[in-house]
Amino acid sequence: MQIEIHQLGRVAYLPTYTAMQEFTAQRDLQAGSTEPDQLWVCEHPPVFTQGLAGKAEHIFMAGDIPVVQTNRGGQVTYHGPGQVVAYPLIDLKRAGYFIKEYVYRIEEAVIRTLLHFGVTGHRVGGAPGIYVRLDDPFGHALLPQRPQKQGPDGTARHNDPDFTGLGKIAALGIKVSRNCTYHGVALNVAMDLEPYLRINPCGYTALKTVDLSTIGVSASWQEAAQVLGHKLVTHLAP
């Protein structure tokens, strides 16, 4: 079944969050519904959002930017103009895959979107989202596994993710209720990145955040939104 794309434009965060919850709750009441899945693509005015694991100390200078507590996974992130935010509202049971694969598919859609603009996106083990090499965002060399899941002696290692030389360009935070997803992914296109200096992005100290503009890609919000929307619909299909 085709996923319907809804281009919402610039919309306030809180009403959008409420609408996602209402849409998902309505699905719970209509078990077995044949209503198509949806993908909401939008842009938000400046806002910090806290995930369920969010700690207040990771926001140290909110200033005039509101902070909204949410029920998604993860820590604090920022949304603002110049960022494409995509909210897949997917019935995973009907789609036929589970949460881990769902996250992988979203990340793959972002990687393919970046590739459209000539940029190589990377995953970092233990840290959902997509990252780019700051010294060579267009190079194709693979990253070493970060963090290493086991040491030379074969014992398990529990290192924190290693972000050396990397910048985060897309953040991921999801919620699944009775097999139905909401919240989603945010891709930085051409933003004022200053608000990221007021927080520990995703709970990591000194994690650098970048957008397409700062790594040398000139792309409009509309173009990036169209490409990401298409890639998500393609990769989230059953």
This prediction's pTM = 0.93
Of the pLDDT bands very low, low, confident and very high (cuts 50, 70, 90), residue 145 is: low
* 55 vs 40: which has the higher pLDDT: 40
Of 37, 59, 65, residue with least CA distance to 184:
37
Of 173, 162, 156, 32, residue with least CA distance to 99:
173
Segment 79-98 mean pLDDT: 96
Q: Report the number of distinct structural domains present in the chain.
A: 1
Residue 44 has pLDDT above 80, yes or no: yes
* 71 vs 161: which has the higher pLDDT: 71
Catalytic residue ranges: 202
Residue with tokens 């970048």: 210
CATH assignment at residue 188:
3.30.930.10
The model's pLDDT over 205-229, given as tens digits with 9 standing for 90+, comes to 879 999 999 999 999 999 999 999 9
Assign residue 188 a region (left: φ > 0; alpha: ψ between -120 and 50; beta: otherwise): beta
Structural domain includes residue 144: no
CA 200/CA 77 separation, integer angstroms? 8
Structural domain includes residue 157: no
- Judged by average pLDDT, the poorest of 27-36, 50-59, 195-204 is 27-36
- E strand or H helix that includes residue 84: strand 83-89
- E strand or H helix that includes residue 48: strand 47-50
Helix axes 99-116, 221-236, angle to 10 degrees: 140
Residue range(s) defining the domain that contains residue 25: 4-121+168-236
